[in-house]
Structure 1
């Protein structure tokens, strides 16, 4: 299956949409245009009808004004000029005459007039031919009537005799009031007919518009249904193709929304990968919590939330994927768990530029991981074989053979310790302490011969023993991991022995003619090679601890010792030299600050002080014993009361460095921190009834002088 790129799912959607629904878009546009046209015409005609309604009302008011003028004239004729009723009638006559004349002119020519609320309005000109004829006839009748009323009102205003003008005005009213009423009635009817015509036209427009709108809507519906049918066919085809893809891909594919809910569709293989039948609609975080830790599932949720944040670039957080490669345990129906290695990858899925989902791809990489592990193991095995061969080639055959012999002796001692019955917790714990001493001596010898594999394995066994010693309730089962490590170490030792024998056999068949000279050069003298490796041992530890050391030795080959006893003496020397490098010699930077040479010096001297005794001296020009550090470590250990420790002198504090498990190192490493080396030295010395003298000067030197008996080599085995 090709790689899905969710971010690219929305290809030129606008252009495709426009072509697909062009007919519908045109129909909708026509529908909107038609509706807009009908609305405009409806508004325009409605506005005209509204104006015609005002005209009809004002035409009706003209009839009322004509009657009011006649009434006012009759009131003037019957009232005294000094009475209030006379003045009121004159005022009403004037108002009615002016309003009638103003409205008649507005009807005829178009213009301003006042409505019933005395508001100024604009009255449009009557455009109908019949209406104009009626207005012209009404104007011919109104003009003399108006002049008669104006003459009367003028006489009244000027306080003249109004008898004649009143009689003239009454005559005009009697003769023309009925005529004016008829013309105003005709005008009202004419305006009503015009308004009725416009209303009919509006109904026609609305009927036609609604009919066209219905036809257009039906067209849109038919076109839309056809498009919907075609779209359904395309979608069904796409759905079938998607289903086909999801049924055939080997990966697990599904979508997750912002609420961590899994989508309704997923690949068929996902069920097999996750071992879950019901996946759609589940919470992805809850699904993960059934396979991995709750903390890791929460971390995964946070990572997916980052993917939904559009401000964060997807490429920048790719390396943060917590599920890139995980080991999961899937519960089985038959009981137990199936362990798999799964690889999850996440990609954003966008719609219209908005992150809608996250596409999750799951791959079962169990077989791949298994093959990679097998390849790594094979490579490690090959490298260890090469490393083993290289170390063997750099080690003197006799020393190597001696180391193998000593190794088996060490293994036998450890097995004997493990077999010893222990009925109490303290006795079980002492087993760990005794094994610790043996394996620490073994590690020292391996380090002195540059056999790094043995050194590393011994250090790992020390870690296991340290864990056992730190437990409160120790049982025999706690030693099971140790037995596995010991078995591996024995197996490796057997491989070394076989390679050593093959190399020895190979050397046996080399040219005998050249062997006599070259072997002496290569193999050297056994007595000398038994100690020469200590210089390399010192340099290796110095380099590992970032220090510069010059090693000077003397007298190491002057005394012939029993082989087993010589091995114990070497162990003492190895422990003292290791202690001198790690605890005594300062770093080059610290030595420079104290104006010392950057390169420290360690002296190892072995001398015969009598026929029965010899003396081993190890001296370094380092920092000397730090009694304050010893005191602080003693307090920190909690073995002794703090007040008691404060009362101790330097001699008492010095004795602490030979206690089991006591070390001033800040952390445990291959070379320090276990508190076993100096204890092993003391055990060897006490075993042979020797003695140890320690002298130290702060910042200048530290010297260990050990006196031991001489156990000479048995006759026939020396050198």
Structure 2
């Protein structure tokens, strides 16, 4: 009844709220007509130049506008508005009925267009009113007044329907409450009469039970007399039994002596068993069908498992925290098979899951101990039945350690053999230059890491991690490119692993020293590889592998060697990616300094890798496009001594051109959006040249995944960094989608620099 009363109060309050909503919705109908009327009054007064009448109409229009706008907003979003009395403030709930909400949305759309004109008409001084604006407002009033009036009528009717529905619910609730009261009264009367009937029946039953108990008591007295007679007979039988007991006692004494002798024999056997279990080096114990460890456990078993809690314990529960869940399930099945007489013992030995396992002990919670254990299981058979399993446990930790050392030694030998093959295949002079440059680059990385404090406090955030990561990334990417030219696969693979670690860090806003640890480990391994290459080069290459130069053979120039290396590099990657490409290298770099040569070589390597990975189509696609199946790269350099070039002064000029797919601004923008470098809205507003410039952004790549040649999003970024920052030059680029891509870079000629002689052509 309390719940009915509370619901009655809530519904009554809702009726009051609905009444207010209906009144205010009705007022909205009146306000729409008043608005149209006042707009027409302002038009009439302005035409007669009656400023007093215009001002009065404007004042009333302002009040009407504010009241209509505020009430419409309160119905739509919920909020306060002026009540029907014009003074009180009423808080309206947001209209949530889908149909009414749709009508309010339509009314807001109309009022959004009409209301701006009404507001302008109401708040503009009479002297500044524009007849055209007034006429437009009159036309809009004529156009929208009836629509707003119809929508407000629907709103009023809808709110009134909700009020009627609530009133109907209240009536049904009150009728239900009355019915419940009547049902409750009937139930009480019915229960009272039922209780009286049950009480009468119980009294009758108690009377009958008492009568029955009296009859039973008389029968019991009769039974007692008979029992006394039986007791007398039992006493006679007891005396006879006592005489027999004396005879049996003598026989029991004889058997006790025999039992004592047997006990002495068992104790002797137990002492022998204890001696065995104490002195044996292996863990020995028995388990039953439930895998429970027996009372007899060898001393070594406690040492192996480093615990005193073994007897009467489940072997499975003992090993559960020490092995994987999968191995635990396998062990349970294996032990069940041990007690299955149909299972072959040889098969059980062959498929023993615990023949050699690694466990981690931490019984005391103070530290972890890793051990390698070997388990052996032997069946104990009695009268053809398997009654127990003898478990033998052996600690093979030292044996496994020796096996691992031997395996590591073999791996080291295989790795050094691979390094030796790399050295034999490489040009000794180029290898020495690469090793020196890489050593310098790794030292620079170490110096940078020390300056940033990486490694001192592993949990601290790495300062300016974005710049640090990008710097290391570019350096490692250069090392990978140069190692790839020399086919130093170990360094290529290690550099690729470093890039993998740094790629994950580049996506984070904040990086700690702990998170940097994976990259540092790979960098340390790269340093180790570099040391191995240097050591093997000094001890092997110079003394045993490289033949002495022929006196008749003229040494190759720097330009010839570089052209040949670039052609070989192109051929290798072309074969690896199954894209036939021909490089025509026409470079003359004999006059360049070591640093200039190294930087330009890095730029060219990056361009070749980018072209082969991203720019060139496969042979079938090129054929379908009407191109030669074999792609072409043209590479040349010169010195422009005029001032008409991009620098306005004498400059080195390098030109690189491929006949691949060129650049597609639409696909570049799509890739940039997919990688989160720009938004879709920004991409739509970019011009083609702005879109093309995205390829120089760090992290940009059109590749779907990264491999050893592309997909990292640093290639073009490195190229721009080399040209602009290291050489102090400029980059120019031209392209035609589906046809070609050409890049030219210019950088100043050093004073007293010699002119470039005729180049030596190398061709793939």
Aligning the two structures, in what range does the TM-score lie when normalised by the shorter sequence? 0.5 to 0.7
**Are 1:474 and 2:511 matched, yes or no?**
yes
Cα deviation, 1:149-199, whole Å, max 9, x if unaligned, reads xxxxxxxxxxxxxxxxxxxxxxxxxxxxxxxxxxxxxxxxxxxxxxxxxxx
Which residue of 392, 416, 419 corresponds with 2:450?
A: 419
SS in 2 for 1:420: helix
In structure 2, distance between residues paired with 1:716 and 1:360: 87
In structure 2, distance between residues paired with 1:664 and 1:345: 58
Distance 1:605 1:304, change over 3 A: same
In structure 2, the partner of 1:169 is none
Equivalent positions of 1:327-366 (< 5 A) are 327-331=359-363, 335-344=366-375, 360-366=391-397
In structure 1, the partner of 2:303 is 272
Equivalent positions of 1:86-105 (< 5 A) are none
CA-CA distance at 1:481 after TM superposition: 5.2
In structure 2, the partner of 1:616 is 655
Which residue of 425, 437, 454 corresponds with 1:406?
A: 437
Distance 1:438 1:509, change over 3 A: closer
In structure 1, distance between residues paired with 2:464 and 2:512: 10
SS in 1 for 2:699: coil
SS in 2 for 1:455: helix
Distance 1:331 1:571, change over 3 A: farther
In structure 2, the partner of 1:305 is 332
Distance 1:340 1:508, change over 3 A: closer
CA contact (8 A) 1:577 1:618 kept: no
In structure 1, distance between residues paired with 2:558 and 2:307: 69
**Are 1:516 and 2:548 matched, yes or no?**
no
In structure 1, the partner of 2:704 is 666
In structure 1, distance between residues paired with 2:398 and 2:749: 61
CA-CA distance at 1:635 after TM superposition: 3.4
CA contact (8 A) 1:614 1:710 kept: no
Cα root mean square deviation, aligned? 4.8
Distance 1:527 1:346, change over 3 A: farther
SS in 2 for 1:264: strand
Distance 1:566 1:558, change over 3 A: closer
**Are 1:377 and 2:408 matched, yes or no?**
yes
CA contact (8 A) 2:613 2:710 kept: yes
In structure 1, the partner of 2:731 is 691
SS in 1 for 2:464: helix
In structure 2, distance between residues paired with 1:349 and 1:389: 58
**Are 1:643 and 2:681 matched, yes or no?**
yes
CA-CA distance at 1:680 after TM superposition: 0.8
**Are 1:656 and 2:694 matched, yes or no?**
yes
Distance 1:288 1:429, change over 3 A: farther
In structure 2, distance between residues paired with 1:345 and 1:430: 59
Which residue of 436, 447, 453 corresponds with 2:490?
A: 453
In structure 2, the partner of 1:368 is 399
- Size of the aligned set, in residue pairs, is 487
Distance 1:259 1:506, change over 3 A: same
In structure 1, distance between residues paired with 2:355 and 2:423: 44
Which residue of 464, 467, 472 corresponds with 2:501?
A: 464
CA-CA distance at 1:532 after TM superposition: 2.3
Distance 1:656 1:326, change over 3 A: farther
**Are 1:441 and 2:478 matched, yes or no?**
yes
Cα deviation, 1:100-158, whole Å, max 9, x if unaligned, reads xxxxxxxxxxxxxxxxxxxxxxxxxxxxxxxxxxxxxxxxxxxxxxxxxxxxxxxxxxx
SS in 1 for 2:313: coil
In structure 2, the partner of 1:527 is 559
In structure 2, distance between residues paired with 1:358 and 1:535: 71
Distance 1:396 1:641, change over 3 A: same
CA-CA distance at 1:693 after TM superposition: 1.6
Cα deviation, 1:396-450, whole Å, max 9, x if unaligned, reads 2221121122113212321332233589866133211111111111111111111
In structure 2, distance between residues paired with 1:645 and 1:271: 71
Distance 1:338 1:631, change over 3 A: same
CA-CA distance at 1:345 after TM superposition: 5.7
In structure 2, distance between residues paired with 1:717 and 1:230: 115
CA contact (8 A) 2:559 2:589 kept: no
In structure 1, distance between residues paired with 2:617 and 2:348: 46
In structure 2, distance between residues paired with 1:287 and 1:264: 15
Structure 1, gaps ≥5 residues long: 1-220
In structure 2, the partner of 1:30 is none
In structure 2, distance between residues paired with 1:557 and 1:627: 34
Distance 1:465 1:594, change over 3 A: same
CA-CA distance at 1:485 after TM superposition: 4.4
Distance 1:276 1:316, change over 3 A: closer
Equivalent positions of 1:21-32 (< 5 A) are none
TM-score computed with the length of structure 1 as normaliser: 0.56
In structure 2, distance between residues paired with 1:238 and 1:594: 93
Which residue of 569, 572, 592 corresponds with 1:561?
A: 592
